[in-house]
Structure 1
Amino acid sequence: MQRTDGTKQTMAEVVAQRKTEMSPGRMFVEACAAKGLEASVEYDVTITDSLTSSRRKPRYPARNMLKVVDLSRDPRQYYWHESPPRPGDPEVNDAGLRREAASRFHKSPVPELHPTTAWVQVPPELWEDTETFESFINYRLIVRLGTAENDTIIRGRGGLLNMPGIARMTSKGPFGSAILAACNEAEQMGGTADGLIINPVDYYTFMGNGRLMDDLEQNGVFIVRTRLVDPGTAIVGDFGHGALLFDAGRSVIRFAEPPPGTFAEPGIALMAEIYERVVINLPTNFFIVSL
């Protein structure tokens, strides 16, 4: 499979390109035909970024908010990041007007990537219908992998909700919403809040009670709806300039024995796995908001 570059393409271009490629499911179907339950396919891409949705109403994954660094093609040793001034730091010129002028600069090694894994059980003999088996892999296994990836990015051990440098915001101040207060605060730090991660119950509550969600989207804020932030909580931030997703640029799909408790009953299981880690360059431009 070919890989898309870091520049976002139009949906029509992505769909046209991927029609010329063999899908992850088709590659595994062919391996299964040759090797049966011993089949295992390693991909030189991250397969959660290899399929386009067929939904008329899109629901975007958290990875789409982030600048992705494919370490297999763009190897790096370090990443840069900033931190706010500490009590007792010397005064910095113009820091009253430009708060970020007082920030400290740092470099850190690229952290160890975390595995993200998803499992499905394969109904007996499903692989005999190659078209259906391909669809099952593409739109069940990989979709579940996308949900697991959201968990890694948002609430996993290295996820956004567990980043120590991200501030909590509980007050809406003079604004109509704490979301808008966080957008303003990011701009007061010299950034632009271009992304919002919100639970569907809150998204649809705001949609039913006013125009906030429409206004944010029309103002260029990329909105991800996901169950993986708790109701009453949202993440607002400068995702375009203030965060990175380090990505191994490789994946695997294979038959395997699942961990105990994965399924309600025994059966043949497929697993898919990718490797990645989110980092924050500008933690002062992100907020966990109480709605």
Structure 2
Amino acid sequence: MLKADSIKSTLAQVVADRKHELSPGRQFVEACEQYGLDAAVEYDVTITDSLTSSRRKPRNPARNMLKTIDLSRDPRQFYWHESAPAPDDTPIEGAEIRRELASRFHKSPIPELLTTTAWVQVPPDLWTDPDTFENFLNYRLIVRLCTAENHTIISGPGGLLNMPEIARMPEPGPFASTILRACNEIEQMGGTADGMIINPVDYYRAMGSGRLMDDLEQNGVFIVRTRLVEPGSAIVGDFGHGAQLFDAGRSVIRFAEPPAGTFTEPGIALKAEIYERVVVNLPTNFFVVSI
């Protein structure tokens, strides 16, 4: 197991290495200088994972919670997953204490990856200033792509909130909070609640009224704040062992004609795309809770 100092050293090396690489924005700037409005760059990485934030207060995207499988470098045919026992299943000895013993095992093909798209409209002649154009690409187009990626993972058609196998938990039961009840239920299933996705309004309300958010983070729960979970709800789960993000390991940025209704006025537009899909291996270790 990596020690904390080793992890910090590894992360520092990643940041240092990226300083010596061309950013996605710079690569597109160079293509634009050569090809103008015909410029298109295909990347052999997922560009939402290619930039480091300069914010003093980090805000983590949902992808950072998940083990990512880059299918371009690690091709797979199938993934495994479990399901809760059916009511008429034969009782399993010991399952009253170790509930996971009664779970069923399954194998499914890797699902079709979903396309995540972001658009920006380029201010006239911005590309004549290469450094500013690079910054615009990195911190506007790709940041918008990160938000779109959160939608794909959390609330899109294949997202966590639309997986019927993930149970809802509307009441806290004997606990002070449904969040704490969900953490307990996950441990009773043999897992660990290591992540939570929550709307900022609920995060800051909880912060303003007590220590719950601090206590969760100090207890190792990785918290993602995002508008893409409805206020009054949160997703609590064993993200480290119970879910995966299948990723094509490629991306595209190009000039393109946007669909009607994308912008309020005509203009030159850029499109960025990535391809990925989240799957849940242990749906019994996830809950959508009402706060």
Band of TM-score, shorter chain? over 0.9
Aligned-pair CA distance for 1:9: 6.8
Paired AA for residue 86 in structure 2: R
- Three-state SS of the structure 1 residue aligned to 2:138 is helix
C-alpha offsets along residues 195-234 of structure 1, whole Å, 9 cap, x if unaligned? Answer: 0000000000000000000000000000000000000010
Determine the C-alpha separation between the residues in 1 that align with 2:8 and 2:288: 27
Determine the C-alpha separation between the residues in 2 that align with 1:276 and 1:225: 21
2:192 corresponds to which residue?
A: 192
Aligned-pair CA distance for 1:12: 2.3
**TM-score of the pair, normalised by structure 2:** 0.97
Residues 168-177 or 146-155, more deviating? 168-177
2:4 corresponds to which residue?
A: none
1:18 corresponds to which residue?
A: 18
Determine the C-alpha separation between the residues in 1 that align with 2:190 and 2:21: 41
Unaligned ranges ≥5, structure 2: 1-6
C-alpha offsets along residues 170-200 of structure 1, whole Å, 9 cap, x if unaligned? Answer: 1111211110000000000010000000000
2:36 corresponds to which residue?
A: 36
C-alpha offsets along residues 112-152 of structure 1, whole Å, 9 cap, x if unaligned? Answer: 00000000000000000000000000000000000000000
**TM-score of the pair, normalised by structure 1:** 0.97
Structure 1 position 211 matched with structure 2 position 211: yes
Determine the C-alpha separation between the residues in 1 that align with 2:211 and 2:17: 36
Alignment of 1:101-112 (within 5 A): 101-112=101-112
Paired AA for residue 124 in structure 2: P
- Three-state SS of the structure 2 residue aligned to 1:94 is coil
Does the aligned pair in 2 maintain the 1:14–1:52 contact within 8 Å?
A: no
Unaligned ranges ≥5, structure 1: 1-6
Determine the C-alpha separation between the residues in 2 that align with 1:150 and 1:9: 28
Determine the C-alpha separation between the residues in 2 that align with 1:144 and 1:221: 26
Determine the C-alpha separation between the residues in 2 that align with 1:261 and 1:173: 46
Determine the C-alpha separation between the residues in 1 that align with 2:8 and 2:242: 18
Paired AA for residue 211 in structure 1: R
Number of aligned residues: 285
Aligned Cα root-mean-square deviation (Å):
1.0
Alignment of 1:250-261 (within 5 A): 250-261=250-261
Determine the C-alpha separation between the residues in 2 that align with 1:12 and 1:214: 25
Structure 1 position 235 matched with structure 2 position 245: no
Does the aligned pair in 2 maintain the 1:25–1:134 contact within 8 Å?
A: yes
- Three-state SS of the structure 2 residue aligned to 1:120 is strand
Structure 1 position 183 matched with structure 2 position 183: yes
Structure 1 position 58 matched with structure 2 position 58: yes
Determine the C-alpha separation between the residues in 1 that align with 2:10 and 2:280: 27
Determine the C-alpha separation between the residues in 2 that align with 1:35 and 1:270: 14
Alignment of 1:43-122 (within 5 A): 43-122=43-122
Percentage identity across paired residues of the two chains: 78
Does the aligned pair in 2 maintain the 1:255–1:270 contact within 8 Å?
A: yes
- Three-state SS of the structure 2 residue aligned to 1:245 is strand
- Three-state SS of the structure 1 residue aligned to 2:156 is coil
2:246 corresponds to which residue?
A: 246
Aligned-pair CA distance for 1:50: 0.1
Does the aligned pair in 2 maintain the 1:235–1:287 contact within 8 Å?
A: yes
Does the aligned pair in 2 maintain the 1:166–1:284 contact within 8 Å?
A: yes
Determine the C-alpha separation between the residues in 1 that align with 2:59 and 2:181: 25
- Three-state SS of the structure 2 residue aligned to 1:220 is coil
Does the aligned pair in 2 maintain the 1:68–1:244 contact within 8 Å?
A: yes
Paired AA for residue 260 in structure 2: P
Aligned-pair CA distance for 1:11: 3.9
Determine the C-alpha separation between the residues in 2 that align with 1:115 and 1:277: 9
Paired AA for residue 206 in structure 1: A
Determine the C-alpha separation between the residues in 2 that align with 1:123 and 1:130: 13
1:272 corresponds to which residue?
A: 272
Paired AA for residue 203 in structure 1: Y
- Three-state SS of the structure 2 residue aligned to 1:63 is helix
Aligned-pair CA distance for 1:10: 4.6
Determine the C-alpha separation between the residues in 1 that align with 2:187 and 2:9: 27
